[in-house]
Amino acid sequence: MKIVVAYKWAPNPQDAEVAPDGSVDWSRAKGAVSEYDPVAFEAARQLADATGGEVVGLTVGAASVDSPLARKAALSRGLDRLVVVADDRLADADGTRLAAVLAAAVRSIGDVDLVLAGDSSVDVAEGQVPMTLAGQLGWLGMAAVSGVTPSADGVVVERDLPGGITTLALTGPAVLAVTTDAVVPRVPGMKDILGAAKKPVEVVPLDALEVPDVVAATTLSGSRPETGNRRGVIIDGADASSAAAELVAALRTARAL
Amino acid sequence: MNVSTQTWIVVADDPAVSGLVTTARGLGGAVSAVVVGRKSVADSVARAGVDEVLWLGEPGDGAPVEAYAGEVARVLAEAGAAPLAVVGATTPAGRALLGAVAARFQVPVLAGLRGATLEGDAVVVERSVLGGIAERRVQVVGGPSVLAVAAGGVTDEGTAAAVREVPAQPLGAARVTDVRVKEQTGVDLGAARAVVAVGRGLKAQADLDLITDLAAAAGAELACSRPLAEGVDWVAKERYIGISGQHIAPELYVAVGISGQLQHMVGVRDAKVVVAINSDKAAPVFAQCDYGIVGDLYEVVPALAAALRAGS
Ligand SMILES: Cc1cc2nc3c(=O)[nH]c(=O)nc-3n(C[C@H](O)[C@H](O)[C@H](O)COP(=O)(O)OP(=O)(O)OC[C@H]3O[C@@H](n4cnc5c(N)ncnc54)[C@H](O)[C@@H]3O)c2cc1C
């Protein structure tokens, strides 16, 4: 089985600075493998090991997604090889364009049986790209996947849905977005990190892919939401009882109780 | 690409569509629905305030709703001039339908919606982006505006629109073999006046008793951060707060052993009073609270429960 893990190298918006006009300064935020993507790497590795398959990492984005650090971070998490499309023309690409580029890359990798992705990315956090990628490929796309295990003729998929825990027999190609219920990702050890340097990386130029034109949204204006107007009264809890009494009194005065 | 004045809602076997209908109606034009799933859902959507329902037929042979996503997109593309807007739910299956529609028309999916209005003949969308740290007014020129919104509830407007069956062929890639219905907790955190939430500061599942006791003393519902509901399931999934969980606006929110990452805090942005209890005085939650106690939850929580009971 050939499994592609579509992952994102992204900064945490927690560390971004937002100007009053809503523009975002990422210069103090460091990129990392997006928080939930290691679950997808691990699930893919376990599935490939059980079926004798291959795990190919795939990321697309601005030139910065292909730093030596970014390569090592991905390759130390159980991949066999990496395919990267890194181009500054993708710096502000929205999800549909990223999905179009990912789909073109999946086609160029060829003979892919399954694409796994994390539940949602740390920066955008909308969980949309894997489902749009499925749309671009014309494949089945399923989110909220809480388990993937091999079976005799394919893969058993478990999903935690509002209607119940749903089990599916998967036989065709699909894009699955996995939640942290699926597996516990490995913490890369020294051996994984050293091994990462030896694994092949293929850099695919954006122009080498057949990507359809995607309409981008036009931004008319931006703003920074009103937050942080909280009182910020901090009480020392060394003496728990008196701190509790002080808090209860304050909450009564504020009519919060 | 020219767009019409027609708005579509796309429904993934879920009768809760009031959020979709409200957004679609706000754009002025006719509102049609494409419904994947059971006939009962199509009939319910027909009574939710739409002008017309296209139903893709009873799902056969265990096909998941997502297997119809491409067919939903095809129906919209073949319906005539490109739609003005397509509105779907932010649920897992809703996102799959929207993804197929976005790919078909090669347009973005706009989530984090705070409002969508018609200005002239264009849809102007206000949305929060990047986990809520910024807001944008945007517009899609040259294709439909594809909008992902909270599903809302089930509504009955009293009259039923016509339901027309349209043949559709699902992808055969997967078959549902089993559904284990979960115990319905029936919690409605949105209606709670006060909510006490706990995070990874809790060391063991058994210690939850401390937190439920505090919640009882405060007349509050129990909630949690995502790591306590997913991965470990100490607390039911319907009870986690945040960008991918519940968004609530209680009078009082108490965050116990929660660091205050923005993915969590965005869910209580509209809470009236926020209290934080955390042993780390540098925890980001202290910059986002009205009252904070720096201390060990294992000491502060019982003391707070006692103080609440003493005064009442
Ligand atoms: C795409 C995406 C979506 C996400 N969506 C959500 C979401 O919807 N909701 C959500 O909650 N998270 C979400 N997260 C996860 C989020 O980023 C944080 O990882 C998570 O909220 C942290 O949970 P926590 O505060 O309980 O744990 P931690 O960050 O580990 O914090 C634990 C806190 O407990 C304190 N503590 C430890 N011991 C004690 C003690 N004895 N007494 C008092 N305090 C103590 C520590 O000081 C620390 O501040 C999302 C992440 C991503 C990437």
Q: Quick one: pLDDT at residue B188?
A: 85
Q: What are the helix (H) ranges across A149-200?
A: 190-196
* Chain-chain contact of B107 with A138 (C-beta, under 8 angstroms): no
Q: Tell me what the mean pLDDT of segment B4-31 comes to.
A: 97
Condensed to tens digits (0 to 9), the pLDDT of residues A87-136 reads 999 999 999 999 999 999 999 999 999 999 999 999 999 999 999 999 99
Residue B81 near residue B6 (C-beta atoms within 8 A): yes
Kindly list the protein residues whose Cβ atom lies closer than 6 A to any atom of ligand 1: A 35-36, 120-122, 125; B 199-201, 225-227, 240-245, 257-259, 261, 263-264, 278-280, 283, 296-298
Residue A160 near residue A120 (C-beta atoms within 8 A): no
- What is the residue type of B278? N
Taking the CA atoms of residue B200, residue B202, residue B207 and residue B208 in that order, the dihedral angle to the nearest 10 degrees is -50
Q: How far is the CA of B225 from the centre of ligand 1 (A)?
A: 6
Residue B133 near residue B261 (C-beta atoms within 8 A): no
Q: Tell me what the mean pLDDT of segment B132-155 comes to.
A: 96
Residue A167 near residue B177 (C-beta atoms within 8 A): yes
What's the pLDDT band for B38 if we cut at 50, 70, 90?
Answer: very high
Choose among A22, A99, A250: nearest Cβ to B134: A22
* Chain-chain contact of A159 with B92 (C-beta, under 8 angstroms): yes
B243 contacts chain A (CB < 8 A):
yes
* Whether the model pTM is above 0.90: yes
Residue B234 near residue B185 (C-beta atoms within 8 A): no
B190 contacts chain A (CB < 8 A):
no
CA distance A198 to chain B (A): 32
Nearest protein CA to atom 52 of ligand 1, as residue: A122
Nearest protein CA to atom 41 of ligand 1, as residue: B296
Q: H or E element: which one contains A63?
A: none
- Provide CB contacts within 8 A for B87, sequence distance 6+: B7, B8, B9, B10, B20, B23, B24, B147, B149
| Domain ranges, ordered by start, for chain A | 2-208, 229-257
A227 contacts chain B (CB < 8 A):
yes
| CATH architecture label of A2-208 | 3-Layer(aba) Sandwich (3.40)
Residue B24 near residue B7 (C-beta atoms within 8 A): yes
Which residue intervals of chain B bear CATH 3.40.50.1220?
Answer: 189-311
CA distance B99 to chain A (A): 4
- A contacts of B274 (beta carbons < 8 Å): 230
Which residue intervals of chain B bear CATH 3.40.50.620?
Answer: 7-165
The matching CATH number, chosen from 3.40.50.620, 3.10.580.10, 3.40.140.10, 3.40.1410.10, for B7-165 is: 3.40.50.620
Q: How far is the CA of B233 from the centre of ligand 1 (A)?
A: 15
Condensed to tens digits (0 to 9), the pLDDT of residues B72-119 reads 999 999 998 899 999 999 999 999 999 999 999 999 999 999 999 999
DSSP single-letter state for residue B82: B
Q: Does domain B189-311 have CATH number 3.40.50.1220?
A: yes
Condensed to tens digits (0 to 9), the pLDDT of residues A175-230 reads 999 999 999 999 999 999 999 999 999 999 999 999 999 999 999 999 998 766 89
| pLDDT over 70 (residue B312) | no
- ipTM metric: 0.96
